[in-house]
Structure 1
Amino acid sequence: MKKLFFAALISVFALTVKAQEKPHIYNPDADAKAEIKAAVKQASANHKNVLLQIGGNWCVWCIRFNNLVTTDPDLNKYLTDNYVVLHVNYSQENKNEAVLADLGYPQRFGFPVFIVLDGKGNRLHTQNSGYLEEGQGHSKEKVMGFLKDWSPAAIDPKSYEKTK
């Protein structure tokens, strides 16, 4: 009986520790400049834009956003079809200050903050995530609107040519 009790206790402890682990979607050791360059190259080859999600593993709103767009089938499909997504770290270990300076200091909006780049690496838009929030998370409708507004088709001049 003691063995069963201790086995159950160890299992509960292991599950508690596992539940407290934070997801690691940001890598403080990554070379953000090189990763952005690679993402732009990939986006260009696939006729997509780049979505930089800037934040850190410490940021609950960053994790909530990532969970929404990766678990909601509609958002995930739209994001995958139109963007190359890259998580750019901002933390005590690595603030990526030079990269953020090149991007126009987006951290002024808080975290997460989103940058949309075109397939040439040009910054198209900086999005304050506060405008996408609703309650204790992000609004699916607002996020989808943001993604659609800055998709390759939305900014393609051919989308606006008059038909005769």
Structure 2
Amino acid sequence: MKKIVLIAAFLVSGFAMQAQELKWYTNVNEAIAVGNKEKKPLLLFFTGSDWCGWCIRLQKEVLTTPEFATWAKANVILVELDFPRRAPQTDEIKKQNNDLQQAFNIQGFPTICIANGITKDGKTNFQGLGTTGYVAGGPKAWLAVADGFLKKK
């Protein structure tokens, strides 16, 4: 019996570690370069990380789960575009996030856009594949929506 408990604990900690290993970019140009190299679209997470209740709920229920981690590593480059009220940000990051909020016409948080980013002649263009926010039902329900967007790429 002890062996079964130890094996179960090992597997659970392995999944938790996998979720923690995700790389979230904050510089969209860096993320675009990686996305183009790996031939993956960007998952742009517009969030108010320290004040938005639905953003925090989406993080807990989906974005920090092993299911999401496995899916994300295989399918997208993660970009967090945060609009915090208390956490400090550089002026460069604030400007970038505000510019992207306007470019994607983001009206509320959380909003997740999946898009291909293309930089040509110093200009960045995005090909939107889909937009969603919080989806009830945990990672399985959320990933079903996201997978529908990836079929468009």
CA distance in 1, matches of 2:133, 2:63: 16
1:70 Cα deviation from its structure 2 partner? 4.2
Aligned identity (percent) is 18
User: TM-score, normalization: structure 1?
Assistant: 0.58
CA distance in 2, matches of 1:115, 1:128: 7
Tell me what 1:40 maps to: 32
TM-score by length of 2: 0.62
CA distance in 2 between counterparts of 1:48 and 1:40 reads 9
Shift of 1:124: 1.3
Matched residues, number: 114
- For structure 1, the 5+ residue unaligned runs are 1-29, 157-164
Q: Give the distance between the partners of 2:47 and 2:116, measured in 1 at CA.
A: 20
Q: Whose strand fraction is larger, Structure 1's or Structure 2's?
A: 2
Residue matched to 2:46: 54
Residue 117 of structure 1: SS of its match in structure 2?
strand
Aligned ranges for residues 1-164 of structure 1 at < 5 Å?
Answer: 35-57=27-49, 58-92=51-85, 94=94, 96-103=97-104, 105-106=105-106, 108=107, 110-120=108-118, 121-130=125-134, 132=135, 134=136, 139-151=138-150, 154-156=151-153
**Partner secondary structure for residue 155 of structure 1:** coil
Shift of 1:112: 0.5
Root mean square deviation, CA, Å = 2.5
Deviation of 1:71 (Å): 3.7
